Structure 1
């Protein structure tokens, strides 16, 4: 193996370790070393996530891209079974760790039943040691909170339902 190939293998192993230690399901990296020299790596793992449904129904595995942290914290019985398809879902704008309050022990930014205004902070997502406030995309009422405090979230994962 060449020196660059050894480095590439070590890089791919580091990505796999990052995947496991941060409970991610997929990581993709594209590197360009020169005009005709590039490395495209996509490391993913399949996860079977079983969703509990209130009414008797066949239990199906969720898509591999769904984070393990997507278990509902508070559920509305009339809510759609899959929050990914809910038009009122607030998607995560980034990969990171979700925090429902400004600091440990503090009151949460919002709770189920709260009325929120557009732009109001719903939660914080920590990404690369930076705390990113996640604003409400619209005014409405919090119907469901789909993540737990301190859990990892993926890009596009539903965080909350606002109606």
Structure 2
């Protein structure tokens, strides 16, 4: 069995943290095997500065679909500004993403989506999938209710905590 010093592990973890910062990543996980009886499992995460500065109200949410065309000046003035009161992340029925990954609204391409706007769901029912590190993670409805909004597009990337669906 090869022994590694505690200092080497600390230096390795510092290097991972620096990698996060330099590449603007939010999470990295590494497993090092030193032999049969020795291993180091490290998961380093950080909160992006935009989320910290705005107290969970991102300035430019990555989960919102891009508009098809630029709104006209009249339409732009009629739209309500994005504030904490109408931000989907603050809605009491929001289902946030439990992880960073890619969201899928159906089990396989070409099949019916798990839910649609207006669908009745039961607590524990699968409402979508988030793929993370080649693993398909079923996201279950946290309560009974009706899907009032789907806030993500099929195949789009999501961040940890990003609002996915609203159930009322």
Shorter-chain TM-score bucket reads 0.5 to 0.7
- In structure 1, what is the equivalent of residue 143 of structure 2? 138
- How many angstroms does 1:153 deviate by? 1.1
Segments of 5+ residues of structure 1 without an aligned counterpart are 20-25, 30-40, 48-61
Q: How far apart in 2 are the matches of 1:126 and 1:64?
A: 23
- In structure 2, what is the equivalent of residue 89 of structure 1? 94
Q: How far apart in 1 are the matches of 2:93 and 2:152?
A: 15
Matches within 5 A, 1:75-86: 81-86=86-91
CA RMSD between the two structures: 3.9
The answer (yes or no) to whether the contact 2:57–2:89 under 8 Å persists in 1 is: no
* TM-score, normalised by the number of residues in structure 1: 0.61
- In structure 2, what is the equivalent of residue 51 of structure 1? none
Q: Could you say if the C-alpha distance between residues 138 and 9 of structure 1 is closer, same or farther in structure 2, counting changes exceeding 3 Å?
A: closer
Number of paired residues? 131
Matches within 5 A, 1:22-101: 26-27=26-27, 63-64=57-58, 67-71=61-65, 81-101=86-106
- How many angstroms does 1:97 deviate by? 0.8
Q: Describe the superposition over 1:22-58 as per-residue Cα deviations: whole angstroms up to 9, x where unpaired.
A: xxxx3478xxxxxxxxxxx7777667xxxxxxxxxxx
Q: Describe the superposition over 1:54-103 as per-residue Cα deviations: whole angstroms up to 9, x where unpaired.
A: xxxxxxxx944864123499xxx9xx620111111011111111100111
Work out which of the two has the higher radius of gyration on C-alpha atoms and give 1 or 2: 2
Matches within 5 A, 1:152-163: 152-163=157-168
User: Per the alignment, in what secondary structure is the counterpart of residue 154 of structure 2?
Assistant: coil
Residue 151 of structure 1 pairs with residue 161 of structure 2: no
- In structure 2, what is the equivalent of residue 52 of structure 1? none
